[in-house]
Amino acid sequence: MRIVLIHPNYHSGGAEIAGNWPPAWVAYLSGFLKAEGFTDITFIDAMTHHLTHDQVRERLVALQPDVIGATAITPAIYEAESILKVAKETCPGAVTVLGGIHGTFMYPQVLAEAPWIDVVVRGEGEQVLTDLVRCIDEGRWPAEREKVKGIAFADGNGKVVATPACPPIKDVDRIVADWGILDWSKYVYIPMNTKVAIPNLARGCPFTCSFCSQWKFWRDYRVRDPRKVVDEIEDLVRNHGVGFFILADEEPTIHKKKFVEFCEALIERNLPVLWGINTRVTDILRDEALLPLYRKAGLIHISLGTEAAAQLKLDRFNKETTVAQNKKAIQLLRQNGIVAEAQFIVGLENETPETLEETYRMALDWNPDMANWAMYTPWPFNDLFKELGDKVEVFDFSKYNFVTPIMKPDAMDRATLLDRTMHNYRRFYLRKTFLGYPWIRDKVKRKYMLGCLWAFAKSGFQRTFYDLGKVGYWGPQSKKNVDFHFDESRTLTTEAARAPHNAMWKTMHRPKVKLPAANAAADARACGGGTEQMEESRAADVRACGGGSDQLTEAQMDAVTAAQRAPRERASLQGD
């Protein structure tokens, strides 16, 4: 059984400006498959190596695989579909598989527009792909495909079939990465000029922000044994030259005890590695006294979902934080020598030049080390999308990338939105360049910040930042000529729009804050499915483990984790 995994050659000018990042999905899938006896796996990183379709075709001709899988986040979906078309043309006998977030929720549309894709793997991939590969290996494909949990396929009679969701992997310590499958030569983090990795400590998120797709995707919050994750990091450092990593986690710090264990194990091993995370403001406030420990463990960069300068917007995002908390968290991080990055989401229908200006003033007031203005991107499977209705007019998913204004604000055109956003970036980083970074006393942090500045500058020269070269933006004077090149022929199919409501897709929690009345009925289904919602008492548990203003004590967190592990209860949550 020969398996080839492909990362599609899609690019957009956001996080990529910091370098080439190794695809964690490949390492985790490969590790799991190998442990189950499927060891003939090759990875083609078409993204990092900018491979053309012909170059990928050549590799496939030589490899002649039995299974060819590609990943797709939403903006990469068309490129993933195209590369799987190449795969089908080149190896017609191979089973073509799509995995990742986009297909998980949008499989009806994907299978209709790319009929050469044999199967979509929905959600967490390790178990499902292994079951699928075993089914193929044992000659039971396609006759017994309906027995493989967590997949979707077209049955040949014009019907799309989605099998029941596969339960999230309970014993997450079974997931051991195979980082050796990657060719490490190109995965360099520009700010530190060192190799970079993206290991996973925890999966999922107990919160339910209305603009976010991740809490729905993983369905359950689980943490790996911190010591085993540190073993993995030690392997990355010693055997692959990694000097910096970010945790792939949505919410790495909510299980405080495990996160502290993780930091302590890193301190014990004394590895020459710095790292970063994305996390929530409320966790930073909770962990004020622990921040020196986190820094001692090498945690140098924390990106905070501060999201908005106005409380109304935070509430609309179901963020469960306050503007005052945002400011305080940034101060705490800076006091502890940790780079604080504030993330704002801009570009909803009610954005105006004034509200954009407010975010800039807020950034000055909070004084984070870095600030980031991401364009609101209306994933059709998130809760806010339903509220927006026909205000979302662009369904060219290749532009759903946080740097292209998908929504047109009522009070300005998209080019103005981009221009005002760039205005914020220019002012913010100009100030930091002259009045901020060079004067940072802590040598490690100063070097890191100057490295970040270099990465920004490089992408500025290359016109890759925010895809400015592609859209023709050269400053305010060029606004009239900016063209986002939306493919207007792309639409959202009704079936796909409904897919997230699939009753088999159960999430362990549901939105904790009341959503706008118009959505309430649909939303309850979207996250949990049908009438079999989690009972109220469970919702309270989840709230305790993640949400609201009340954080759990360590003992309570352990109790909740233990309860969550109880098989009977778990089965009921997972709809088994």
Question: Which residues make up the interface to ligand B12 (CB under 6 A)?
Answer: 5, 7, 10-12, 14-16, 21, 23-25, 28-29, 47, 69-71, 73-76, 97, 99-102, 121, 124-126, 129, 198, 200, 213-214, 248-250, 379, 401-403
* Least Cβ distance, residue 19 to ligand SF4 (angstroms): 23
- Choices 82-90, 208-216, 464-472, 536-544; region in contact with ligand SF4 by CB under 6 A: 208-216
CA distance 549 to 541: 14
Task: Give yes or no for a contact between 438 and 450, defined as CB atoms under 8 angstroms apart.
Answer: yes
CA distance 71 to 100: 5
Interacting positions 151-180 with ligand SF4 (CB under 6 A):
none
The item of ligand B12, ligand SF4, none sharing an interface with residue 47, based on CB under 5 to 8 Å by kind, is ligand B12
CA distance 520 to 427: 41
Angstrom CA distances, 545 to 285, 352, 532, stand at 16, 37, 22
The residue within the footprint of ligand SF4, chosen from 6, 46, 101, 205 (CB under 6 A), is 205
Which of residues 276 and 409 has its CB atom nearest to ligand B12 in the complex?
276
The DSSP letter of residue 434 is: I
The DSSP letter of residue 42 is: E
- State the Cα angle at 375 between 48 and 542, rounded to 5°: 90
Interacting positions 245-264 with ligand SF4 (CB under 6 A):
250-251
Which of residues 124 and 523 has its CB atom nearest to ligand B12 in the complex?
124
* Least Cβ distance, residue 216 to ligand SF4 (angstroms): 9
* Least Cβ distance, residue 204 to ligand B12 (angstroms): 9
Q: Is 340 in the site for ligand SF4 (CB under 6 A)?
A: no
Interacting positions 409-468 with ligand SF4 (CB under 6 A):
none
Q: Is 215 in the site for ligand SF4 (CB under 6 A)?
A: yes
The item of ligand SF4, ligand B12, none sharing an interface with residue 10, based on CB under 5 to 8 Å by kind, is ligand B12
Q: Is 283 in the site for ligand SF4 (CB under 6 A)?
A: no
Q: Please report, as a single letter, which amino acid is at residue 340.
A: A
The item of ligand SF4, ligand B12, none sharing an interface with residue 251, based on CB under 5 to 8 Å by kind, is ligand SF4
The item of ligand SF4, ligand B12, none sharing an interface with residue 347, based on CB under 5 to 8 Å by kind, is none
Joined together, the tokens standing for residue 28 give: 């985790």
Which of residues 12 and 382 has its CB atom nearest to ligand SF4 in the complex?
382
* Least Cβ distance, residue 212 to ligand SF4 (angstroms): 3
The residue within the footprint of ligand SF4, chosen from 3, 26, 212, 330 (CB under 6 A), is 212
The item of ligand B12, ligand SF4, none sharing an interface with residue 209, based on CB under 5 to 8 Å by kind, is ligand SF4
Considering only CA atoms, which of 364, 375, 381 is closest in space to residue 330? 364
C-alpha distance across the termini of the chain, in Å: 30
Q: Which long-range contacts (CB under 8 A, 24 or more apart) does 223-227 make?
A: 223/172, 223/255, 223/258, 223/561, 224/172, 224/173, 224/175, 224/200, 225/173, 226/201, 226/258, 226/259, 226/261, 226/262, 226/265, 227/261, 227/265
Which of residues 47 and 284 has its CB atom nearest to ligand SF4 in the complex?
284
Q: What are phi and psi of 371, to 5 degrees?
A: -135, 150
Q: Read out DSSP for 306-372?
A: EE-SSHHHHHHTT----HHHHHHHHHHHHHTT-EEEEEEEE--TT--HHHHHHHHHHHHHH--SEEE
Task: Give yes or no for a contact between 333 and 340, defined as CB atoms under 8 angstroms apart.
Answer: yes
The item of ligand SF4, ligand B12, none sharing an interface with residue 379, based on CB under 5 to 8 Å by kind, is ligand B12
Task: Give yes or no for a contact between 22 and 87, defined as CB atoms under 8 angstroms apart.
Answer: no
The item of ligand SF4, ligand B12, none sharing an interface with residue 215, based on CB under 5 to 8 Å by kind, is ligand SF4
Angstrom CA distances, 273 to 8, 64, 173, stand at 29, 39, 23
Give contact residues for ligand SF4 (rule: CB under 6 A).
205, 207-209, 212, 214-215, 250-251, 280, 305
